[in-house]
Amino acid sequence: MGLKEMTGTKAGKFGHFIVEFATPGIGHIMKSAGCDFVLFDLEHSGFSFETVKSAVRYFEAADVAMIVRVPSKEYHHIARACDMGAEGIMLPMVGTAAEAREILDAVKYTPDGKRGVALQIAHDRYRAGKVTDKFAAANARTTFFCQIETADGVENAEALAALPGVDCLWVGHFDLSVSLGVPGDFEGKVFRKAIDRVVKAASKHRKALGRLVPDVQTGIDLYKQGFDFICYSGDVWVLHNALAEAVGALRAGCRK
């Protein structure tokens, strides 16, 4: 199932955050683990666009949907990720509907946007075809994940959710807590009130809702609140925690 189809249902979609490892086998590892999607990060990872181009092929081969979080709202970051075949595009710190509309202009071809034309390359799998058909197919496939991680984003959540072309509101919980003046306080009244507002906006306009979660119980709790894209932890932390637990147990059990 593609990302566009996933955003059309409130059934749970479960994935993983890729911020460190872009090896050729990563797609098949995620598929074997049961992931529906991956969130591939360019904002904090240091991955290059050349790495994205390779990684798109890895996830396509494994039939795992791929969301690429680009590092900024600059046109060349957004359009290049689309040209390289990214099915899902995530933008950090989207605060207003006007910003979201500018992003959609970079994601979508005419008549839905203003994206520069590049055909028979990676995004359309190098296949020839009628130009208008290519535009329509690309516009139907590309999926926009709008990241709510500022007080402005919360304030404008309903306007963002109402905008055609915004497929999912995605809460960036750490940055949002900082913007709200309560760094790391995810249980306090201020943060919970903000989340309630975003949940209501997504529900009202029938948009998907996503978040990164550090553990299984948090994911279950958020699903019950209305979140349907649940991104479980990241490659760095899963490897680190599993290895630390095993090495610690070995060290404790192998003492003389």
Name residue, tokens 């203003």. 114
Tokens representing 162 are 């109402």
Residue type, 220: I
Q: Is 44 a catalytic residue?
A: yes
d(C-alpha 106, C-alpha 109), whole Å: 8
What is the CA 96 to chain-centroid distance, rounded? Answer: 18
* Count of residues making up the chain: 256
Task: Give the bridge partners for 230, in sequence order.
Answer: 14, 211
Question: Is 82 within 8 Å of 107 (Cβ atoms)?
Answer: yes
Tokens representing 208 are 């998907």
d(C-alpha 138, C-alpha 101), whole Å: 17
Question: Is 186 within 8 Å of 212 (Cβ atoms)?
Answer: no
Query: What is the phi/psi pair of residue 198, to 5°?
Result: -70, -40
Question: Is 169 within 8 Å of 201 (Cβ atoms)?
Answer: yes
How far is the CA of 255 from the CAs of 184, 192, 245, 246, 252, in angstroms?
38, 47, 16, 15, 6
Query: What is the phi/psi pair of residue 239, to 5°?
Result: -65, -50
Say which of 16, 28, 44, 240 is annotated catalytic: 44
Active site residues: 44
